[in-house]
Amino acid sequence: MTKNPQKPWAATVLTLFPEAFPGALGASIIGGSEKSGIWQLETVDIRDFSVNRHRTVDSPPAGGGPGMVIKPDIAAKAIDSVAQQSRPLIYLTPRGKPLTQTRVRALSKGPGLIVFCGRFEGLDQRVIDARQMEEISIGDYVLAGGEVAAQVLIEACVRLLPGVLGDAESATEESFEDGLLEYPLYTKPREFEGRAIPEVLLSGDHGKIAKWRREEQIKMTKARRADLWAAFDKGDDHECD
Ligand code: SAM
């Protein structure tokens, strides 16, 4: 086992379902890089901070309405049990700022993160405000809980940590890295169900290949993501933020 001489990037996940971890974070290069000490994962069971024998953590919403809300006192105790170590405290919620590759890159350069996974209708607003939690959404849809969202966020960060991706899997030419979507990819065989690999990719002319890929990136971004294209075309920030 290779040991990383620097302090590993550390993710602490506060959850009602610690058994959902590591989940996808235990597989392939992400799981392997945790084993080799590049990053570390810890879960905290929010229910351990309940004050009654039924281990309840939720209560009906003030003002009425469906579902239950996670109580602020219990959430705060769970949060305060974690050594923050300058890590951002994130609450995953559909109401949050949409996650971007720019934010992921910034988080991957820091010491790690602390993530609070909501359940039920969500978390009492007062603890979000009192602990100055950063609210992040992974997309405009509603999941049953924050656990899958936490895995999305952590995986996106971990794959950018030095030593996780080999040269062969470099992240530099990917979608969003320069504000555009990635160009289409092809591999052997040369022909598949009557469809050939574009001739230029077999030409060996690296200049022509780079030009073709750039044109494809632009074509695809214009067709699929008017928002990204507008930001790129404006040229003020070649990011996907
Ligand atoms: N009542 C909430 C709303 O309307 O915004 C949805 C609550 S959802 C059923 C339960 C939990 O799942 C949320 O507190 C959050 O932690 C997580 N969650 C659901 N969708 C999410 C998303 N798109 N991004 C991040 N977290 C999400």
Pocket flag, ligand 1, residue 107 (CB < 6 Å):
no
Average pLDDT over the chain reads 94
Domain ranges within the chain, ordered by starting residue = 9-158, 173-239
Q: Is the pLDDT of residue 240 over 70?
A: no
Give the pLDDT score at 137: 98
pLDDT digits (tens, 9 = 90+) for 10-42: 999 999 999 999 999 999 999 999 999 999 999
Lowest mean pLDDT among 8-12, 94-98, 212-216, 234-238: 234-238
Q: Is the pLDDT of residue 70 over 70?
A: yes
Fold that domain 9-158 belongs to in CATH: Alpha/beta knot (3.40.1280)
What CATH class has 173-239? Answer: mainly alpha
Higher-pLDDT residue of 132 and 170 is 132
Pocket flag, ligand 1, residue 119 (CB < 6 Å):
yes
Pocket flag, ligand 1, residue 122 (CB < 6 Å):
yes
**What's the gap in Å between 156 CA and the centre of ligand 1?**
19
Q: What percent of the chain has pLDDT over 70?
A: 94
For ligand 1, atom 23, name the residue with the nearest CA. 94
Mean pLDDT of 219-240: 84
pLDDT digits (tens, 9 = 90+) for 107-129: 999 999 999 999 999 999 999 99
**What's the gap in Å between 223 CA and the centre of ligand 1?**
30
Higher-pLDDT residue of 5 and 23 is 23
Q: Is the pLDDT of residue 5 over 70?
A: no
Pocket flag, ligand 1, residue 137 (CB < 6 Å):
yes
Give the pLDDT score at 208: 98
Pocket flag, ligand 1, residue 35 (CB < 6 Å):
no
**What's the gap in Å between 217 CA and the centre of ligand 1?**
32
Lowest mean pLDDT among 13-22, 49-58, 127-136, 167-176: 167-176
Per-residue confidence band for 88, with pLDDT thresholds at 50, 70 and 90: very high
Give the pLDDT score at 166: 81
Give the pLDDT score at 169: 62
For ligand 1, atom 19, name the residue with the nearest CA. 143
If DSSP states are collapsed to H, E and C, what string results for the chain?
CCCCCCCCEEEEEEECCHHHCCHHHHCHHHHHHHHCCCEEEEEEEHHHHCCCCCCCCEECCCCCCCCCEECHHHHHHHHHCCCCCCCCEEEEEEEEEECCHHHHHHHHHCCEEEEEECCCCCECHHHHHHCCCEEEECCCCCCCCCHHHHHHHHHHHHCCCCCCCCHHHCCCCCCCCCCCCCCCCCCCCCEECCEECCHHHHCCCHHHHHHHHHHHHHHHHHHHCHHHHHHHHHCCCCCCC
Per-residue confidence band for 168, with pLDDT thresholds at 50, 70 and 90: low
